[in-house]
Amino acid sequence: MGTLTALLDLAHRRAIELDLPYQGALTPAEAHQVWQLAPGAKLVDVRSRAELHLVGHIPGAVNLEWELWPSGQINTGFLTQLRQAIDPESLVMFICRSGHRSDNAARLVTQSGYNNCYNVLEGFEGALDANKQRGHIGGWKFANLPWEQE
């Protein structure tokens, strides 16, 4: 891959190209490398507790539900919970199943004053394949990055 600066510059260029309001967009492999290289960087998994239990989770990630299970309603306490867990000066990367909820989280958190937010493209499981299944096209698991099953 590259140095931390090169990875973050690439992510920032993607954000500009995609007209994203947050600092950058990273592939799962890039996010993993940034997590290893940046002291104090945080990976926030915004999937539901049910998803973490049934599909698997990333060791060391901060788990904060964006949508509450089983209602699917937006977690109105998300920002408060995030502020309790992560310093606003930290580099924060958000991940979900496919990259959609984490994009929403990165947008909201950036608007609330966190200036170093990144979305993990493809998410944990990646896009749907031709058989409408995940895990075969992109994502954290597909990239063989660290994860575990309960």
Residue 2 has pLDDT above 90, yes or no: no
- Per-residue pLDDT, 74: 95
**What value does the mean pLDDT of the chain take?**
96
- Could you tell me the end-to-end alpha-carbon distance of the chain, in angstroms, rounded to an integer? 30
Secondary structure of 107-121 in HEC code, one letter for each residue? HHHHHCCCCCEEEEC
Question: CA 16 → CA 4, 25, 32, 104, 118, distances in Å?
Answer: 18, 9, 21, 17, 12
Q: Which tens digit of pLDDT belongs to each residue from 28-43?
A: 999 999 999 999 999 9
Residue 1 has pLDDT above 80, yes or no: no
For the residues 92-119, what does the mean pLDDT come to? 97
Q: pTM for the full model?
A: 0.96
Q: Which tens digit of pLDDT belongs to each residue from 53-97?
A: 999 999 999 999 999 999 999 999 999 999 999 999 999 999 999
- Per-residue pLDDT, 150: 77
Per the structure block, which two tokens stand in for 148? Answer: 């575990």
